[in-house]
Amino acid sequence: MSDVRFHNCIQRRFRFDENAKPLRNGRQVSLPADVSDRQASASSAGATFHFRPPLGVQVQELDSGATSHQSDVTVKVLAMDSPVPEDALHSAEAWLIEGPTSKDMNSEETIRTMQMQGCTILQHGTRMVIFTLTEDRIVPILKTMLEAFYLEQEVGRLESELAENWSNWDEDIPLGIVFGERQLGTRARLVEHHNAVRRFRSRLERLSPAIHATHVYPPTYASQASERYRERAQLAHRHEVLDGQLQSFETLYESCAQRASDYANARTGHILEWVIIFLLVIQVLFYSFEILTSSEESATTPPTNVNQPTE
């Protein structure tokens, strides 16, 4: 049996923008961390959320006519008594399963469900449903859940990129031991891969404070929802696995950089030594030429007769 209230509920779509700056025109209002739940609820329609530093991500609520993107998250929020009626739950589950999945997330076959007193949250793929008792809880819960969703999406994206680059980076392992004249042509590739690993590390560390954030005390509905989502998605464990895998490649490219630098310095030193030897040979040849020419001049000059009488 389908629930009419659920199907008539407005879908809200949100998009993450890492490059956008805070905007304060029209309905786009940045919500500071110290704003009250009731004030935030009044500014929720079409608002622009800003995640806490160092994430620095803007979340823009899209209009109904905006072009959809595969990474957009669609949310339905219903103010409903607890416990949620079964027909509403069945309708929500059917709607979630019908939705698209994100390739950057570990899409589960089952729906992720988080239940708290007076609040029930369901998530699957790029869709989310929030059942809550009061309107003043909607915005803080929505903000924390969007942040947790973004964290899982970014971790999934990093896992995919690491898996794609693994074989390419593996090819550079021999260069960490031997680097010679034949390997000079690989320096551009090494620089590119080394920079890619550094950028990967920067992106991973940017997520770390939010993933490993301590539990909020006293707890709130929003903080509990975020903590449970991160636990269900195993974000802390996945972040640690990525960190350990990345360390091996960081060690590899540090070794490659050291080998390449040592060979370049040694090669430059050898070139300078040959230049010095060449200059010394030229100098010796000049001295030898001067000695030979002076010897020939002395040999062609007639000797003076010492026995000639004087007048």
Distance between CA atoms of 182 and 170, rounded to whole angstroms?
A: 18
Domain boundary among 93, 120, 138: 138
Residue 290, domain member (yes or no): no
Up-side HSE of residue 70: CA atoms within 13 Å toward CB?
6
The answer on 146 and 134 residing in a single domain is no
First to last CA, the chain: 151
Contact 68, 25 (CB under 8 A): no
- Stronger pLDDT, 204 or 309, i.e. the higher one: 204
Number of Cβ within 10 Å of residue 230's Cβ equals 21
Residue 36, domain member (yes or no): yes
Contact 104, 71 (CB under 8 A): yes
Residue 281, domain member (yes or no): no
What CA dihedral angle connects 35, 20, 15 and 141, to 10 degrees? -20
φ, ψ dihedrals at 14, nearest 5°: -130, 145
**pLDDT above 90 (res 256):** no
The answer on 226 and 166 residing in a single domain is yes
Q: What is the mean pLDDT of residues 8-14?
A: 88
Q: What is the mean pLDDT of residues 271-289?
A: 85
**pLDDT above 60 (res 95):** yes
Please state, for a pLDDT cut of 70, what percent of the chain lies above it. 76
Residue 55: predicted pLDDT: 84
The answer on 226 and 171 residing in a single domain is yes
The answer on 19 and 120 residing in a single domain is yes
Please, which residues have CB within 8 angstroms of residue 150's CB and are 6 or more apart in sequence? Answer: 16, 51, 55, 57, 59
**pLDDT above 90 (res 159):** yes
**pLDDT above 90 (res 309):** no
Residue 79: strand, helix, or coil: strand
Average pLDDT, the chain: 79
Token readout for 184 is 């000079």
Distance between CA atoms of 168 and 115, rounded to whole angstroms?
A: 44
H helices present in 99-186, as ranges:
138-170
Positive/negative CA dihedral, 57, 63, 69, 70 = positive
**Residue found under tokens 């034949």:** 182
Please, which residues have CB within 8 angstroms of residue 43's CB and are 6 or more apart in sequence? Answer: 29, 31, 139
Lowest mean pLDDT among 56-60, 183-187, 265-269, 270-274: 183-187
Residue 256: strand, helix, or coil: helix
The answer on 242 and 190 residing in a single domain is yes
Residue 275, domain member (yes or no): no
Lowest mean pLDDT among 82-86, 176-180, 235-239, 271-275: 176-180
The answer on 80 and 54 residing in a single domain is yes
Q: What is the mean pLDDT of residues 71-86?
A: 84
Residue 176, domain member (yes or no): yes
Domain boundary among 249, 267, 285: 267
Number of domains in the chain: 2
Enclosing domain of residue 79: 4-138
Contact 172, 194 (CB under 8 A): no
The answer on 235 and 159 residing in a single domain is yes
Residue 300, domain member (yes or no): no
Lowest mean pLDDT among 185-194, 213-222, 263-272, 284-293: 263-272
Please, which residues have CB within 8 angstroms of residue 180's CB and are 6 or more apart in sequence? Answer: 263
**Residue found under tokens 């339905």:** 76
Lowest mean pLDDT among 32-36, 58-62, 119-123, 151-155: 32-36
Contact 61, 48 (CB under 8 A): yes
The answer on 131 and 203 residing in a single domain is no
Token readout for 124 is 């699957």
Q: What is the mean pLDDT of residues 114-129?
A: 88
Please indicate, yes or no, whether the overall pTM of this predicted structure exceeds 0.85.
no
**pLDDT above 50 (res 34):** no
**pLDDT above 50 (res 31):** no
Residue 234: predicted pLDDT: 93
Residue 207, domain member (yes or no): yes
- Stronger pLDDT, 179 or 202, i.e. the higher one: 202
The answer on 258 and 171 residing in a single domain is yes
The answer on 134 and 46 residing in a single domain is yes
pLDDT tens per residue, range 184-243: 666 778 888 888 899 999 999 999 999 998 888 888 888 888 899 999 999 999 999 999
- Stronger pLDDT, 270 or 234, i.e. the higher one: 234
Residue 293, domain member (yes or no): no
The answer on 131 and 245 residing in a single domain is no
The answer on 145 and 125 residing in a single domain is no
Number of Cβ within 10 Å of residue 68's Cβ equals 12
Domain boundary among 87, 120, 138: 138
Closest CA to 197 of 260, 249, 261: 249
Residue 220: predicted pLDDT: 84
Rounded to the nearest 5 percent, the helix, strand and coil shares of the chain are 55, 15, 30
What pLDDT band is residue 157 in, cutting at 50, 70 and 90? very high
**pLDDT above 60 (res 306):** no
